[in-house]
Amino acid sequence: MTDTDIPLEAIAAKVGTPFFLYNAAILRERMADLAQLTRAEGVQARYAMKANSNAAILKEALAAGLWIDAVSGNEVLRAKRAGFAMGAEPPVVMLTCDVFRDNGLAVVVQEGVMPNVGSPGQIRELAEAGYRGPIAMRVNPGFGHGHVQACDTGGPSSKHGIWHEDLDGPIAMARDAGLRIEGLHAHVGTGPQIREFDENMRKLADVFGALLPRFPHAVAVNFGGGIPHPYRPNAERFELEPYRAFLSHAQGMLSKLAKRSVRVEIEPGRYPVAGMASLVARVKEVKATRSNDKGPGHAFIMVDAGFNDLIRPAMYGSYHHISVVGAGAGREPEPFAVAGPLCESGDVFTRDDQEVIQPRMLPRPEPGDLLVLHDAGAYGAVMSSNYVSLGRAPQVLWDDGRATLVSRRETVEDVVRAECDEAL
Ligand SMILES: *Cc1c(COP(=O)(O)O)cnc(C)c1O
């Protein structure tokens, strides 16, 4: 995003640091990409709202004509508040979860949104709860790959869905319970290699083709999300046009096989939102350790954002591009580790997936400069926490020259709001 056009200091003066900054122009562009990608008859994109569930984002998804993949009862209710239609005709909101908890089951029954079941137990629970609407079935096709090892979305070590060779029992259970299986679903994720995604999608089309004859009521197949986002500055941008052609081809091929019109769905989360946002932090200090027999020394840029705000580097070793705004910005780059305020050695934004510090070439900032962590729109604010009671950072939407606070900074009152002293 073009941070240079946005008055970061003026926004910081109003909301403090750190804060998430969302660029509405980029958001709309990416949402429109998805609408374009699925413009063919019988192809539909859902936005996997767990990537960023702020109402301002959901409204853009709604305006772009996207549907929703929700993964909890509360996400369904937030989609409803943002204006998405409930019910299953058509199934604008689908609930995909490995386990029903809290209000998940009740929301399906009350709102009539289509559940996407990933285990026989969920079919039993739905039947017992009195649900009689359509369902989708999530299949583990036996292969897949997340963007890192820790994200295993398909294959023998994935917990998601029903193993593709074990579908007979669940199909019979659904039939006996009077639940029509109207959708088939698999989400195999983004591999580290951009080509792996294409390959997985082609393999998935074959799997769906082979499975469809056993699902006489299926009117939709869902290829999941996982469209890659280029996090590194020199990374290849994923080409949507061949994917669009693939989806349209798959729609025709699967419809022909099934001898009825089969809707092809996708549900990207990261793609439309990752690039529209930055996490803007304040540089507090620049300090160094020295090499000794235990290892090399590092120069540390200490900022006021931590893994409580953006956990992806600490959890997955994910790369976020970093830039310095302020007095130090033009200096010759030197290797720096960027670290946050938490009493945790893992509170470092420049780590690899082996948890090893990977110094980044950055200009030496002055304390007081801003440090921008880019591409923080997906799995950023939504994965932030109240760890160490800091309160979650505010979210600011920059739209057409105007900044709007779309989630305020949490206070100590927010942090303790659920605490109580109640006899049970
Ligand atoms: C997380 C998730 C997605 C979105 O994945 P991205 O990599 O963000 O595109 C889609 N479908 C399901 C079921 C998911 O759990």
Closest-lying ligand 1 atom to the alpha carbon of residue 138? 13
If we measure between CA atoms, which residue out of 276, 164, 286 comes closest to residue 229? 276
Mean pLDDT calculated for residue range 101-126? 97
Q: Return the bridge partners of 336, or none.
A: 360
Mean pLDDT calculated for residue range 104-112? 98
The 3-state secondary structure of 180-245 reads: CEEEEECCCCCCCCHHHHHHHHHHHHHHHHHHHHHCCCCCEEECCCCCCCCCCCCCCCCCHHHHHH
Convert the pLDDT of each residue in 256-289 to its tens digit: 999 999 999 999 999 999 999 999 999 999 999 9
Residue 279 in tokens = 């996490």
Out of 108-122, 231-245, 276-290, least confident range: 231-245
8 A C-beta contact, residue 150 and residue 316: yes
pLDDT at 3 over 60: no
Where does the pLDDT of residue 14 fall: very low under 50, low under 70, confident under 90, or very high at 90 and above?
A: very high
- Ligand 1 center from residue 54 Cα (angstroms): 16
Ligand 1 is surrounded, with C-beta below 6 A, by 48, 50-51, 69, 71, 96, 187, 190, 224-227, 267-271, 378
Higher per-residue pLDDT: 27 or 155: 27
Convert the pLDDT of each residue in 119-135 to its tens digit: 999 999 999 999 999 99
pLDDT at 191 over 70: no
Mean pLDDT calculated for residue range 32-44? 93
Q: Residue 171, exposed/middle/buried by CB under 10 A (0-12, 13-18, 19+)?
A: middle
Where does the pLDDT of residue 87 fall: very low under 50, low under 70, confident under 90, or very high at 90 and above?
A: very high
Provide the pLDDT for residue 423: 97
Using CA atoms, how far apart are residues 357 and 348, in angstroms rounded to an integer? 8
Closest-lying ligand 1 atom to the alpha carbon of residue 379? 8
Convert the pLDDT of each residue in 319-375 to its tens digit: 999 999 999 999 999 999 999 999 988 999 999 888 899 999 999 999 999 999 999
Convert the pLDDT of each residue in 52-64 to its tens digit: 999 999 999 999 9
Distance of CA 319 to the CA centre of its chain: 15
Mean pLDDT calculated for residue range 226-249? 92
- Ligand 1 center from residue 68 Cα (angstroms): 11
Where does the pLDDT of residue 2 fall: very low under 50, low under 70, confident under 90, or very high at 90 and above?
A: very low
Where does the pLDDT of residue 173 fall: very low under 50, low under 70, confident under 90, or very high at 90 and above?
A: very high
Provide the pLDDT for residue 196: 81
Where does the pLDDT of residue 379 fall: very low under 50, low under 70, confident under 90, or very high at 90 and above?
A: very high
Convert the pLDDT of each residue in 216-229 to its tens digit: 999 999 999 999 99
Where does the pLDDT of residue 149 fall: very low under 50, low under 70, confident under 90, or very high at 90 and above?
A: low
pLDDT over 90 percentage in the chain = 88
Provide the pLDDT for residue 155: 78
Cis omega before residue 18 (within 30°)? Answer: yes
Provide the pLDDT for residue 152: 60
| pLDDT, averaged across the chain | 94
For a mutational test of ligand 1's pocket, the pick from 151, 153, 187, 312, i.e. the residue with the most ligand atoms closer than 8 A to its C-beta, is: 187
Q: How many CB atoms lie within 10 A of CB 193?
A: 11
- The catalytic site residues sit at 343
pLDDT at 1 over 50: no
Q: Residue 234, exposed/middle/buried by CB under 10 A (0-12, 13-18, 19+)?
A: exposed
- Ligand 1 center from residue 141 Cα (angstroms): 16
